[in-house]
Amino acid sequence: MTTAIHTELDADGILLLTIDVPGQSMNVITPEVQADLAAAIERLKTDDAVKGAVLTSGKASGFMAGADLKGMGALFGSGAALPEGKSKMAALFDGVFSLNRLLRDLETCGKPVAAAVNGLALGGGLEFVLACHYRVIADNPKITLGLPEIMVGLFPGAGGTQRLPRLMGIQPALMYLLQGKNMSPQEALGFGVAQAVVPADQIIETAKAWVKANPNGGVQPWDSKNFKMPGGPATALNPNFAQTFVGGTAMTHVNAGDNMNAPRAILSAVYEGAQVPMDLAIRIESKYFAKVVADPQAGNMIRSLFVSKQAAEKGARRPKDVAPAPTKKVAMLGAGLMGAGIAMVSAQAGIEVVLLDTSIEAAEKGKAYTADRLAKKKTPADKAQAILDRIKPTTDYADLAGCDLVIEAVFETREIKAGVTKQTEAVLGPDVIFGSNTSTLPITGLAEAWSKPENFIGIHFFSPVERMPLVEIIVGKKTGPAAIAKALDYVAQIRKTPIVVNDSRGFYTSRCFGTYVQEGLALLGEGTVPALIENVGKQMGMPVGPLAVNDEVGLDLSYKVAQQTKKDLGDAYKGGPGETVIEKMNELSRFGRKNAKGFYVYPEGGKKYLWPELVQTVAGGLAEDQPSAAEVKERLLYRQLVECARCFAEGVLETPQDGDLGAIFGWGFAPFTGGPFSHMDTVGIANVVATLDRLAQRHGERFAPPQLLRDMAARGDSFYAMAAKQAA
Ligand code: NAD
* Calpha distance 137→41 (Å, rounded): 22
* pLDDT on residue 151: 87
* Calpha distance 50→434 (Å, rounded): 66
256 CA to centre of ligand 1 in angstroms: 35
631 CA to centre of ligand 1 in angstroms: 39
Q: Count H helices and E strands in the chain, helices first.
A: 31, 19
* Calpha distance 643→353 (Å, rounded): 37
* Calpha distance 659→702 (Å, rounded): 20
Query: By alpha-carbon position, which residue is closest to atom 13 of ligand 1?
Result: 410
Atom of ligand 1 nearest to the CA of 395: 20
408 CA to centre of ligand 1 in angstroms: 8
624 CA to centre of ligand 1 in angstroms: 44
Contact yes or no for 328/346 (Cβ under 8 A): no
Q: Does ligand 1 have an atom closer than 6 angstroms to the CB of 513?
A: no
Query: By alpha-carbon position, which residue is closest to atom 36 of ligand 1?
Result: 439
User: Distances from the Cα of 82 to the Cαs of 78, 382, 535, in angstroms?
Assistant: 9, 61, 43
- Which of 357, 417, 425 to mutate for ligand 1's pocket (most ligand atoms within 8 Å of CB)? 357
* pLDDT on residue 502: 97
548 CA to centre of ligand 1 in angstroms: 23
Q: Are strands 145-146 and 121-122 parallel, antiparallel or unpaired?
A: parallel
Q: Does ligand 1 have an atom closer than 6 angstroms to the CB of 609?
A: no
Residue 239 contacts by C-beta under 8 Å, 6 or more apart in sequence? Answer: none
Closest by alpha carbon to 642, among 516, 538, 727?
516
User: Distances from the Cα of 359 to the Cαs of 77, 394, 412, 438, 575, in angstroms?
Assistant: 58, 8, 18, 21, 38
Q: Does ligand 1 have an atom closer than 6 angstroms to the CB of 461?
A: yes
567 CA to centre of ligand 1 in angstroms: 21
Q: Does ligand 1 have an atom closer than 6 angstroms to the CB of 412?
A: yes
User: Would you give the DSSP letter of residue 628?
Assistant: P
Q: Does ligand 1 have an atom closer than 6 angstroms to the CB of 416?
A: yes
Query: By alpha-carbon position, which residue is closest to atom 28 of ligand 1?
Result: 409
* Calpha distance 129→158 (Å, rounded): 11
Q: Does ligand 1 have an atom closer than 6 angstroms to the CB of 595?
A: no
> Which portions of the chain are predicted below pLDDT 50?
77-81
Q: Does ligand 1 have an atom closer than 6 angstroms to the CB of 362?
A: yes
Rounded to the nearest 5°, which phi and psi values hold at 625?
Answer: -95, 110
- Which of 358, 359, 440 to mutate for ligand 1's pocket (most ligand atoms within 8 Å of CB)? 358
- Which of 332, 333, 338, 413 to mutate for ligand 1's pocket (most ligand atoms within 8 Å of CB)? 338
* pLDDT on residue 80: 43
412 CA to centre of ligand 1 in angstroms: 6
* pLDDT on residue 73: 56
Contact yes or no for 485/321 (Cβ under 8 A): no
Contact yes or no for 471/459 (Cβ under 8 A): yes
Contact yes or no for 608/530 (Cβ under 8 A): no
Contact yes or no for 18/57 (Cβ under 8 A): yes
* pLDDT on residue 86: 73
Measure the N-to-C terminal CA separation of the chain; round to a whole number of Å.
Answer: 29
Q: For residue 457, what are the β-bridge partners?
A: 435
Q: What residues are labeled active site?
A: 460
Atom of ligand 1 nearest to the CA of 436: 32
Q: For residue 692, what are the β-bridge partners?
A: none
Atom of ligand 1 nearest to the CA of 365: 9
Atom of ligand 1 nearest to the CA of 338: 26
Contact yes or no for 465/443 (Cβ under 8 A): no
Q: Does ligand 1 have an atom closer than 6 angstroms to the CB of 203?
A: no
- Which of 411, 421, 472 to mutate for ligand 1's pocket (most ligand atoms within 8 Å of CB)? 411
Largest CA distance in the chain: 88
Q: Does ligand 1 have an atom closer than 6 angstroms to the CB of 394?
A: no
The gap from C-alpha 684 to its chain's centroid, in whole angstroms, comes to 24
Atom of ligand 1 nearest to the CA of 366: 9
User: Distances from the Cα of 621 to the Cαs of 584, 615, 618, 627, in angstroms?
Assistant: 14, 5, 8, 15
Q: Does ligand 1 have an atom closer than 6 angstroms to the CB of 438?
A: yes
337 CA to centre of ligand 1 in angstroms: 7
Query: By alpha-carbon position, which residue is closest to atom 16 of ligand 1?
Result: 410
Q: Does ligand 1 have an atom closer than 6 angstroms to the CB of 413?
A: no
* pLDDT on residue 84: 62
Q: Does ligand 1 have an atom closer than 6 angstroms to the CB of 409?
A: yes
* Calpha distance 5→11 (Å, rounded): 20
Q: Does ligand 1 have an atom closer than 6 angstroms to the CB of 395?
A: no
Q: Write down all domains in the chain, each with its CATH number in brackets.
A: 5-294 (3.90.226.10), 329-502 (3.40.50.720), 510-553+568-578+623-727 (1.10.1040.50)
Contact yes or no for 691/640 (Cβ under 8 A): no
Is residue 721 packed enough to be buried (19+ CB in 10 Å), middle (13-18) or exposed (0-12)?
Answer: middle
439 CA to centre of ligand 1 in angstroms: 10
Q: Does ligand 1 have an atom closer than 6 angstroms to the CB of 487?
A: no
Query: By alpha-carbon position, which residue is closest to atom 20 of ligand 1?
Result: 357
- Which of 394, 395, 410, 507 to mutate for ligand 1's pocket (most ligand atoms within 8 Å of CB)? 410
